[in-house]
Amino acid sequence: MNNKILLLPGDGVGPEIMSEAVKLLDYLIDSKVIDIRYEFSDIGGIAIDNHGNPFPDVTFEKAKSSHAILLGAVGTKKHEKNANKMKPESGLLALRKTLDLYINLRPIFIFKSLIDKSSLKPDIIKDIDLVIVRELVSDIYFGEPRGFSEDNKSAFNTMRYTESEIMRITEYAIKLSNKRKGRITSVDKANVLETSQLWRKCVDDVASKHPRVSVNHMYIDNAAMQLIHSPNQFDVILTGNLFGDILSDEASMLTGSIGMLPSASLSDNHGVYEPIHGSAPDIAGKNLVNPIAMVLSMGMMFEYSFDRKDLADTLKSVVSNVLNLGKFTRDLSRSEDYVTTSEMGDLLLDELVKNVKK
């Protein structure tokens, strides 16, 4: 197996959270728990500054030859007024498209020590355990044509899906559901959008070949409401790129902080793992960001790219144990008594050492 991974710290808080994850990664490598080699490259705003391109060729070549990629965050205020192809976020979209990362997984769960951090009542979210399966390389983010009118007084985007794109993400959702509770909620807007009508037809066609999995459909507006009202009704949520982006950020707040949740973007040959939060330029460089989502993203990398669910479980236990000590970064603290980014990284490393001996 290719044991090379690529680290893309990116912009804003990305380098800070990557540094804390590397602390744990280095320990696991030094302890010979896992055989991994890693190298770094640029993406996003830092890549524009260093290479004149948010997704430079050097990063593409390294990404192609890597078995997995850990990514921090992309986005800067400095470049936010750039033309679309020169925005930092274009680098992330290009990475997803060129590696055909059509599967985006966003698990939504809560640590017991954080139940009182959620804005919802404990009895609503205490047993939350769902995963959002989001199609990632089509929909309105990639549809053509797009742009502004000649007078810049109107703009347009194209929402587009093909049968094959919908059917392959549905097949993956069913495969995942078979390992869980066997329930899929497919989210669309079929009462209005032709793309959603095609989506619903394709989902039903694929599901008809898998009678052991229960599939029901829900409109996006109702799904957004139900996710807050009764989140435990969901097991696997299957949806398109735009709707998945919105629902997963909404769902993250059920868990107390967007700084807690990891994600995986997968193709048949590659995996990119990153926190679901953004680059948070307002707190970048201040040693305030929560690195836990980055560490848990690394855990997803171990599970999905290296078949080491044991290491993913270990990192989740490490995080849980530290939180049980009442150690929280600022996003989770209700007082000025919080730990910094680097202090949280040190606490996680100390706990990892206790669980994984050299």
Q: What are phi and psi of 33, to 5 degrees?
A: -75, -35
Give the tokens for residue 46: 């830092």
Nearest to 182 by CA among 128, 231, 236: 236
In the chain, which residue ranges form alpha helices assigned H by DSSP? 14-30, 45-51, 57-64, 88-98, 122-125, 163-177, 194-207, 220-229, 241-252, 292-306, 309-324, 341-355
249 is catalytic: yes
Select which of 249, 316, 338, 346 is catalytic.
249
Select which of 221, 310, 337, 350 is catalytic.
221
310 is catalytic: no
245 is catalytic: yes
Select which of 11, 139, 188, 245 is catalytic.
245
Select which of 189, 273, 304, 331 is catalytic.
189
Q: Report the distance separating Cα 324 and Cα 279, nearest Å.
A: 27
Peptide bond into 145 cis (omega under 30): yes
Q: Report the distance separating Cα 31 and Cα 215, nearest Å.
A: 44
Distances (CA, A) of 87 to 10, 45, 214: 13, 7, 41
Amino acid at position 102, single letter = Y
Using the structure block, give the residue that is written with the tokens 């095609």. 198
Q: Report the distance separating Cα 297 and Cα 272, nearest Å.
A: 9
Q: What are phi and psi of 273, to 5 degrees?
A: -120, 130
Sign of CA dihedral 170, 175, 176, 177: positive
Strand partners, 38: 5
Strand partners, 236: 131, 184
Paired sense of beta strands 155-156 and 37-40, if any? unpaired
Distances (CA, A) of 148 to 85, 116, 145, 241: 14, 46, 10, 22
Select which of 141, 161, 273, 304 is catalytic.
141
HEC string of 113-180 equals HHHHHCCCCHHHHCCCEEEEEEECCCHHHCCCCCEECCCCCCEECCCCCCHHHHHHHHHHHHHHHCCC
221 is catalytic: yes
35 is catalytic: no
Amino acid at position 200, single letter = R
Nearest to 161 by CA among 131, 127, 189, 181: 189
Positions marked active-site: 141, 189, 221, 245, 249
